[in-house]
Homo-oligomer: A and B are copies of this chain.
Amino acid sequence: MGERIIFDEAFRARLHELFIWRRDVRRFRRDALPAGALDRLIETACLGPSVGLSQPWRFVTVDDPLRRAAVIEAFRAANAEALAAYSGERAERYARLKLAGLAEAPGHLALFTDRSTEVGHGLGRRSMPETAEYSAVAAITIMWLAARAEGIGMGWVSILDPARVAAILEVPADWRFIGYFCLGYPESEEDRPELERAGWAERRGAREFILRR
């Protein structure tokens, strides 16, 4: 195209604030999302990168109250198992954490990938088929930011047995479960992760994660 698209300093500063104020939300108000918001956000997610243009992401919106209740039960079971793996004070602290907002969040979304897709003719996936999953994660990250910019919070629930979620949602047998997401308006806005505020763990400086070669 040759067109020059410039994102100016003011936009970049605001974008940085968006990154800082994006949170994994577990405390939602019960207000409904605006009509069509979830579909619109999924459309934005689809602007994300995908390996070989395969677009392997599969979004499952979950509205059926029985399925939602089954997912909540699946979370409770997986969380009880996780708790049992801790002991002493760490177990007590784990038990006090609020790790999902499934009961309150007005929006429920599950994300899967379909590795068997022919779209993209397999390009880029031969030596690393897991890039299908990575594509879906990039897409949901973009959705997360777009949602936050609208004041909608998102929480990623990973304390689940993937096979159980797939069964509850009756998705094709070869789809892979990536994550389950709660969406809604957060009770409060925060610039620090809930686990940090709760004293569970702290963020480290980027320097600790860089190796030079």
- Chain A contacts to B: CB under 8 angstroms: 1-7, 11-12, 14-22, 24, 39, 42-49, 51-55, 57-64, 67, 78, 81-82, 85-86, 90, 94, 97, 99, 110, 119-128, 130-131, 133-134, 137-138, 140-142, 144-146, 148-151, 156, 158-162, 169-171, 178-179, 188-191, 193, 195-196, 200-206, 209-213
Some 24 contacts from A to B, beta carbons below 8 A apart, are A1-B189, A12-B146, A12-B149, A15-B149, A16-B44, A42-B206, A46-B203, A46-B209, A49-B144, A49-B156, A51-B156, A53-B196, A54-B201, A55-B203, A59-B209, A59-B211, A61-B211, A61-B213, A121-B201, A123-B200, A123-B201, A127-B159, A128-B162, A138-B140
Q: Are B160 and A128 in contact (CB under 8 A)?
A: yes
Given contacts A63-B213, A209-B58, contact A127 B3 (CB under 8 A): no
Residues of B within 8 A of A46 (CB): 203, 205-206, 209
Residues of B within 8 A of A81 (CB): 126-127
Q: Are B128 and A60 in contact (CB under 8 A)?
A: no
Q: Are B42 and A210 in contact (CB under 8 A)?
A: yes
How distant is A40 from chain B, measured CB to nearest CB, in Å?
Answer: 9
Residues of B within 8 A of A202 (CB): 53
Given contacts A14-B11, A67-B213, A138-B137, contact A201 B149 (CB under 8 A): no
Q: Which residue of B lies closest to A189 (CB)?
A: B5
Complex Cα–Cα for A138 and B128 (A): 18
Q: Are A210 and B162 in contact (CB under 8 A)?
A: no
Q: Are A127 and B78 in contact (CB under 8 A)?
A: yes
Q: Which residue of B lies closest to A12 (CB)?
A: B149
Given contacts A128-B158, A137-B138, contact A53 B200 (CB under 8 A): yes
Complex Cα–Cα for A133 and B170 (A): 26
Complex Cα–Cα for A21 and B49 (A): 11
Complex Cα–Cα for A203 and B141 (A): 19
